[in-house]
Each structure stands twice: as C-alpha cells, then as structure tokens.
Amino acid sequence: MKTLHLTTSKEDINTAAQILKKGGLVAMPTETVYGLAANALDGKVVSTIFTAKGRPSDNPLIVHISAIEDIEKFALVREFPEKAKLLAENFWPGPLTIICPKGEAVPKEVTGTLDSVGIRLPAHKGARDLIRAAGFPLAAPSANLSGSPSPTTAQHVAADLDSKIDAIIDGGESDVGLESTVITVCTNPPMVLRPGGITLEDLREVLGEVAVSDAVLEKLRDGEEAASPGMKYKHYSPKSKVYLVKADDKEYRNFLATLPQNEVVALCYTEDVPFLNCHTLPLGDKDDYGTQAHNLFSALRSADEIDEADTIYVRCPDTKGLGMALFNRLIRAAGFEIISLDSSAPYTLIGLTGPTGAGKGQVAAFLKKAGCGVVDADKVAHKALEDVECIKNLTDAFSSEILNEDGTVNRRILAQKAFKDEESTILLNSITHPVILRLAKDEFECLSAQGFCNIIFDAPTLFESGADTLCDRIIAVIAPKDTRLSRILKRDNITEAEALARISAQKDNSFYTDRADAVIENQKDFDHLRLESLRALGEVLK
C-alpha cells in the first residue's frame, strides 16, 4: 500500500477525511503523540487498526471527539457523570482521557470486553479539523508499532507504519510528547490509570480525592488484572536495553564513567553533558520535566540510531507532577529494571579460588549463568597495570626498563624481573595487590548497583593477596593432580615439564580446602561440575 503524506492544509484534511469515510487508516497529529485514526463507530474498520499496529486486541482504544457535544450526538456514553463534566470543563481540549460507562453506539472492537469507554477532546487543531471533516468520532491509539516508543513526529510514524496505512498527516512535533492522562470516573474516588500531561496534582485540585492505580508505578504481579489493559504490556521500548538509574548527579556521572564509553548512551540532563564521555542525549534541564517529556520518545528512538551503542542509561525522575508520567513510561521502557546507586545496597561477595587447572573458570561461568555477577581478578590485575600511580611505583621498584616507549607497562619484561626471585615477587605484589583490590571493589559496587546480590570474585591468589578478607564466603575448586596436568596441557599449549613446574609451584589442595566454606571436587564431567557449582552456591548462601 502506498502511504499518502499530507499536511494540515484544508485541502489535505479533506483528502484524509475522505479516506476515513471509505474505511481507511490515517495517522493524525495530536498534542500528546500521533494517533492512528479510524471511524470509531465502525467495528470492522477499527479492527484493522490492531492489525496495522500489531496490537493485542484486548487493549481498548480511545475515542477522539472534536466538541463536547459529540458525546451525546453519537451516543458514546450511557452516562457522563458530574465529575466527568468538571474534568472536561477544566482540561478539554487537552491531554486528558476520561473513562465513562460505554454507550450503545461504541462497537466492541473499540473497548474489548470492557463496559466503559475512554473519550478525549484533543487540543491539536489538525486533529479536531480532521474529526469534524470526517463527521464521526475517531478511535486512535498511538501511531507506533505495538511495543515501540510512541511517535511524536510524522517521521516517527512513517518509520513504523509507512506502507501499512493510507495516510500520515504531518502536524509538526507533538507538544506534550507523552500520551494523555487516563482517568476513570467509573470508580469512587476517580482513579488515574495512566499518568500524562495533566498531572495528579492538577486533577486533585479540581476533583479533590483522586486515586492512582497500582499499575502506574509498579509492576503487576503475575495474574494481577490491570484496570487499564494497556498497562500490562511491555511498552515504549527501543531496541537497545534501557536501565533507569537512580542516583544523584555525581553518582550518575561516576557510574557511567566506569562503563565502556562507546557502547553506552546517557539519556541525561543538559547539566550532565560536560561531565560525560559516552554518547549523550540530553532530555532537558534537570528541573524542566515539560521539556524532558517533550523529548523523551524522540530520544529513545535516536538512541537506537547510534549503532555502536546498545545500552541506554536514563536518569530516574521523581514522581511529582509530570515526573509521574515520565517515570511511568521509563520504568516500562526499562522492563522495570532500576539501577539504584545507593551504595548501601547489600550484596554477598563470594570468593572463588583453587589451583591452576582445577576448573575454576568453568565454575565461574556456571555461576554467572545462575544469576551471579562475576569479577575476574586476572582481568582486574591487567587493568591495574594501566593505573598511573601503579605504573609509577613499579618503575621506581623495577626501573624504567619495564616501560614501553609509549609509557605503558611491558608485561613480559616486568614478569622477567618480578618473578626472578621471591623477594622481587613480594615487591611486585605489594605494589599491585592494593590497586587490584581497589579496582575490584569498584567492580563489585558497579555490579551491585546493577542489581546483582551475589557477586563472585574469581581469584587464583585469593588468600595470598589478602582478598579473602573482603569476601563473605569462599568456594574452592580442586581436582586431582593428573587431571589438572592434562587440562593445563590442553588449555595452555605448553610442555609437560612446564606444566608440572607450574603445578608444583602451587599450594596443595588442602591449602584451599582448609580455608573455604564449600569445596567443589572437579573429577567427573561437565554436567557433574555444573551441579556441583550450584550445590556449592546453595551451601554458601544458606
């Protein structure tokens, strides 16, 4: 199907109205987000909206009118209660949908199984002109593919629905940027089912008591019914993974600095930008929730266009005023995952150690699959040699011969010097271990902030480095000498003499087993090791 691209000129509005009269689908601008409109009184036509969007058919649609008289004229409601009238007087035309007892003219395709209907009189002139020209109310959900962020420009609509619908009317950027507030007057007190441009505070000023549905700010428990069916679906999500970060300015900026900078997009405040080195998409000034709302969906879409980055870290708004609507959209985009940088967040640190070749790495992989965060001490040690302070102390101890021309540490030369005798090795460790522990602690905090409550510290020299004192619990992995020998030979591509030398340089199994809270004996196959890993984890967490 070829999609017509129209403007809000009188002529184009008439063209669009003709399309609607013939049972077509037209994307129209509104002040909240773009809507995908069809004749609300024709059930058959309405059902094509669901197909075009890929939307679950039990998620009811809002009926858009061009004047308050339309409610009676088209028999849209059985009753328009006093409180609904008050709301209409105060907030229409505008970003408020009022749910009332459904009238007989509204087909079941609009409301699903519900006995109520949502009605909205939009403020955007283009939308009202279109409804008037069509001569009937328009059912219109947001004009995006189901699940993705709502469209706030005609280009967003085209990206999702071009060639799937008859026409798109370009009426400029949506002013509010978030969908309308949905309130039901079928309950007493009236209840907000979806927060939006009209805030809870606004509503309470007019109605007095107003409740907020549980589903607005929290995840529904399995089997729990949403008063507004739309609230139960995954929503507003770009392709990238979204995390909501609850933190103060400094914590947020420091946290982002610990991540791989190219791979990360910060959906942040304007004030954060000078402090960040990753990709940034500022939503607006910190206190300007209006601008943030206006830009949110557009920013979520833009984040997807940054190819090398696939994770979005958004600052978590508070839930006052328009913040409630922002939070409600963001928490859904994030699949209800909040990273709380409250450094008092508790976690259990489990040291994982054992002699070389015993299968520690494999155990770490199993535990990671089982939901633990894992920090690899060897990788942290590698990073420690890039620490400026550490490099300085090493050159003081082992001369500048250990440096490459560019000032980085030549690891091979350092190893030659540091492992030539015991004294040198002790000197090396006394310099690197404190740095390794500091960097490791940063990584524990970071994983904890990401929500991991059990963190594994995979460290071959856990006891020797003193890192065992940081750990709450310790798991040791051991295996018979000949098993370890054949593993090292396979894994490290060295001679048997070299492998034996490595093994004999290490402590006996008993050194590890004496000091651990749980022991894994790795002497059978992979499946056995996996079960043993889970058993040991269970044992230390008991």
Contacts with ligand TXA, residue ranges (CB under 6 A):
30, 32-33, 35, 59-62, 97, 99, 111, 114, 116-118, 120, 140-142, 179-180, 182, 193-194, 228-231
Stretch of residues binding Mg ion (CB under 5 A), selected from 141-149, 390-398, 501-509, 530-538? 141-149
Q: Alpha-carbon torsion 462, 468, 470, 472, what sign?
A: positive
Query: 142 vs 461, which CB is nearer to Mg ion?
Result: 142
User: Cis link prior to 93 (omega < 30° from 0)?
Assistant: yes
Q: How far is 506 from 285, CA to CA, in rounded Å?
A: 58
30 binds, among ligand TXA, Mg ion, none (CB under 5 to 8 A by kind): ligand TXA
Least separation in angstroms between CB 201 and ligand TXA: 19
State the minimum distance, in angstroms, from the CB of residue 283 to Mg ion.
20
Q: Which is nearer to ligand TXA, 176 or 519 (CB)?
A: 176
DSSP state of 171: -
Stretch that binds Mg ion, among 140-148, 345-353, 416-424, 453-461 (CB under 5 A): 140-148
Closest residue to ligand TXA: CB criterion? 230
Q: Minimum distance between the CB of residue 58 and ligand TXA, rounded to whole angstroms?
A: 9
194 interacts with, out of ligand TXA, Mg ion, none, CB within 5 to 8 A per kind? ligand TXA
Tell me how far apart the terminal alpha carbons of the chain are, to the nearest angstrom: 61
Which residue reads 């009188």 in tokens?
A: 10
Identify the three-state secondary structure at position 224.
coil
The answer to whether the peptide bond before residue 460 is cis (omega within 30 degrees of 0) is: no
Residue 348 interacting entry, from ligand TXA, Mg ion, none, C-beta within 5 to 8 Å by type: none
- Please answer whether residues 148 and 237 qualify as being in contact, where contact means their C-beta atoms are separated by less than 8 angstroms: yes
- At its nearest, how many Å lie between Mg ion and the CB of residue 150? 5
Least gap, CB of 327 to ligand TXA (angstroms): 16
| 62 interacts with, out of ligand TXA, Mg ion, none, CB within 5 to 8 A per kind | ligand TXA
Give the torsion sign (CA, 89, 90, 95, 98).
Answer: negative
Tell me what percent of the chain is helix, strand and coil, each rounded to the nearest 5. 45, 15, 40
Of 196 and 354, which CB lies nearer to Mg ion in the complex structure? 196
Q: Which is nearer to ligand TXA, 35 or 460 (CB)?
A: 35
- Give the residue with the Cβ less far from Mg ion, 231 or 467: 231
Give the nearer residue to ligand TXA in terms of CB position, either 209 or 225: 225
> What three-state secondary structure class fits 518?
strand
Taking the complex as a whole, the smallest distance from the CB of residue 96 to ligand TXA amounts, in Å, to 9
Check residue 148 for interaction with Mg ion (CB under 5 A): no
- Identify the DSSP state of 149: P
Site for Mg ion (CB under 5 A): which residue of 142, 153, 237, 240? 142
Alpha carbon distance 373, 297 (integer Å):
31
Q: Which is nearer to Mg ion, 336 or 419 (CB)?
A: 336
Closest CB to ligand TXA among residues 161, 276: 161
Q: How far is CA 358 from the centre of its chain?
A: 38
Our CB check for ligand TXA shows the closer of 188 and 425 to be 188
Which of 169/363 has CB closer to ligand TXA?
169
The interface region with Mg ion, picked from 138-146, 299-307, 413-421, 427-435 by CB under 5 A, is 138-146
* Minimum distance of ligand TXA from residue 491's CB (angstroms): 55
Determine phi and psi for 470, rounding to 5 degrees: -80, -25
- What gap in Å lies between CA 138 and CA 123, rounded to an integer? 14
Shortest Å, Cβ 468 to ligand TXA? 53
Minimum distance, C-beta of residue 142 to Mg ion, in the bound complex (Å): 3
441: which residues sit within 8 A by CB, 6+ positions away? Answer: 470
> Which 8-state DSSP code applies to residue 150?
P
180, interface contact from Mg ion, ligand TXA, none, CB < 5-8 Å by kind: ligand TXA
Instruction: Give the DSSP H/E element, type plus range, for residue 55.
Output: none
The site that binds Mg ion (CB under 5 A) totals a number of residues, namely 1
Nearer to ligand TXA (CB atom), residue 4 or residue 114: 114
Residue 319's binding partner, choosing from ligand TXA, Mg ion, none, with beta-carbon cut-off 5 to 8 A by kind? none
Q: Which residue has the tokens 């290490």?
A: 506
Q: Which stretch binds Mg ion (CB under 5 A): 97-105, 142-150, 402-410, 422-430?
A: 142-150
Q: Which stretch binds Mg ion (CB under 5 A): 136-144, 303-311, 322-330, 426-434?
A: 136-144
Cross-strand partners of 312: 242, 265
From the list ligand TXA, Mg ion, none, partner contacted by residue 35 (C-beta under 5 to 8 A by kind): ligand TXA
The residue (of 142 and 213) whose beta carbon lies closer to Mg ion is 142
Q: Which two tokens stand for residue 465?
A: 């480095």
Q: Which of 318, 208, 333 is nearest to 265 (CA)?
A: 333
Which run of H or E residues covers position 526? helix 526-541
Element (H, E) at 421: none
Q: What minimum distance in Å lies between the beta carbon of 39 and ligand TXA?
A: 15
Q: Tokens at residue 166, please?
A: 């008859």
Q: What is the 8-class DSSP label of residue 136?
A: S
* CA 215/CA 16 separation, integer angstroms: 36
Write out the DSSP string of 307-355: TT--EEEEEPP-SSTTHHHHHHHHHHHTTT-EEE--TT---EEEEEE--
Among Mg ion, ligand TXA, none, the one that 19 touches (CB under a kind-dependent 5 to 8 A) is: none
Q: Which residues bind Mg ion (CB under 5 A)?
A: 142
